Amino acid sequence: MIEQLLNVGKRGKGALFKELLNLFQKNAPPSIAKIKLFLEQHDGLSLSHEAHSLKGSSANLGAKHLAEICQTIEVLGKENRLQEASEKISELDRVYLESLEELKKLIPV
């Protein structure tokens, strides 16, 4: 998937991938904040929906570890297993930042 995104913008040196990464970088932190807020509010369903959204954008860019954590949070939220979700949510910031750094390395210079 990542190679396809990079190749689409061959003449633009991965312009499409850069644009998608910029959108991800802009939208992921507010999404993570919402996930944390929904946890505080004990709103498993909203937490699940927000985790699903972040999972999709993460997977589309190839951030597999982040997508996997979001998948777990999504399921736990749906099942209202919020204590377990809390443990996974505590990993979100770190894994997001690690994923972002790895994705930035893929941008052609």
Domain ranges of the chain: 2-104
pLDDT score recorded for residue 109: 59
pTM (predicted TM-score): 0.86
Q: What is the pLDDT of residues 86-109, one digit of tens each?
A: 999 999 999 999 999 999 998 865
What CA–CA distances, in Å, run from 93 to 10, 24, 40, 70? 32, 14, 16, 12
**Selection from 25, 26, 6, 24 nearest residue 16 by Cα:** 6
Structural domain 2-104, CATH architecture: Up-down Bundle (1.20)
The more confident residue out of 101 and 5 is 101
